[in-house]
Amino acid sequence: MTIGLLKEPEGENRVALLPESAKALIQLQVQIIVESRAGEKAYASDKDYEAIGASIHSRAEVLQADLILGIHPPTEEEQLALKDGQVLVCLFQPLSNKKLVERFLDKKITSFSMDNVPRTTRAQAMDVLSSMATVAGYKAVLMAASHSPRFFPMFMTAAGSIIPSKVLILGAGVAGLQAIASARRLGAVVEAFDVRAAAEEEVKSLGAKFVKVEGAKDEASAGGYAVEQSEEYKAKQQALIQEHARKSNIIICTAQIPGRKAPVLITSETVEAMAPGSIIVDLAASTGGNCELTENNQIIEKHGVTIIGDSNLPGTMPTDASKMYGKNMVNFLKLIIGKEGELMLNWEDDIVQNTCVTHQGEIRSERVKNILYPSEIN
């Protein structure tokens, strides 16, 4: 089987496989072809790929591979040119991209979306969302610190005492927990909010205070993801978050709900009530943002507060982010590559079944089917 590695679009610095990960796949008896300069922005040259046994080709040639790898999906025009039965493995957010899913159904493309990997113990080694969230949470704190007019830690100096910054983390998933740990390492006083009751213990274990709103709906069926809350809960949540936001110098927003617009947790009134010079870093910017005033891919200032809208912070650390993504990808591909390097789709494997979005004109993932086509479910 031939596996093709695509160069990512302009603005994306990562690559789906660094040479070390490509080498691991070659050992599985597959042929790796790489689009010219695919790893350039992650500091991996064409010669690096050739040194481990891969070959360099044009984009058109790579798109003819049996199995195509990427972070972002190919362009719409390229998708329409794919051959029936080709396999595509990337991140394409099927829960909010119905047109793309239907295109793959029409073309009979076998598509795997790595953001659909189940949140189970066995699947942790393939969980690209957690890997990228780790990078984002870490970098969000560094970005906040570089924009802040205040120190993070407390200082006792000859010029007097400097009080530590107060940091509020909204969402205590992987990104939020990494942000807590990073802010604590820098010496800030940290508190965090999450609708999931299970997050409280994790937040406290990292030395942060947990901001608790009573009455949250925490559905086990959501597979570890946050779920939509009642209007009554949202009102209580809003009041408590505004109270804590007013006292915070830094807010890191990480709260997202798969397939839905990000919940608005910071209103314009909350921003106006914050101290001038405060910083908001919104990692949910691409899905609407947790802050009402967030503009995706923009750094703006409102009421003296700097608001950074960036959902692709992993792209600012392309070497390690690509290394993590590639390792996750290799671990997943081992499930669908046979002993002779052939494609082997075992539908009895829950990871393969749930990560696969489309195959032979049908939707394989029950999660995707339930959300995109609820009226067709009996």
161 token code pair: 């005492």
Domain residues of the chain, as ranges? 2-126+318-376, 134-311
Quote the mean pLDDT of the chain: 93
Question: Cα–Cα distance between 238 and 26 in angstroms, integer?
Answer: 52
Query: What percentage of the chain has pLDDT greater than the value 70?
Result: 95
Residue 222 has pLDDT above 80, yes or no: no
The number of beta carbons lying within 10 Å of the beta carbon of residue 81 is: 13
Q: What is the pLDDT of residues 185-197, one digit of tens each?
A: 999 999 999 988 8
Question: How confident is the model over 26-32, as a mean pLDDT?
Answer: 98
Of 109, 128, 64, 61, give the one whose Cα is nearest residue 323: 128
35 token code pair: 């689009």
Question: Cα–Cα distance between 216 and 283 in angstroms, integer?
Answer: 22
Q: Which residues are catalytic, by number? A: 119, 124, 127, 130, 225
The yes-or-no answer to whether 2-126+318-376 and 134-311 have a common fold is: yes
Quick one: CATH architecture of 2-126+318-376?
Answer: 3-Layer(aba) Sandwich (3.40)
pLDDT at 257: 85
Question: Cα–Cα distance between 330 and 21 in angstroms, integer?
Answer: 7
CA separation (Å) from 341 to 61, 70, 94, 286, 363? 20, 19, 28, 37, 25
Domain 134-311 has CATH 3.40.50.2000: no
Only one residue has tokens 């610190």, namely 145
The model's pTM is 0.92
The number of beta carbons lying within 10 Å of the beta carbon of residue 204 is: 12
Question: Cα–Cα distance between 192 and 209 in angstroms, integer?
Answer: 6
Q: What is the pLDDT of residues 144-156, one digit of tens each?
A: 999 999 999 999 9
Q: What is the dihedral sign for C-alpha 271, 274, 278, 279? A: negative
Q: What is the CA radius of gyration of the chain?
A: 22
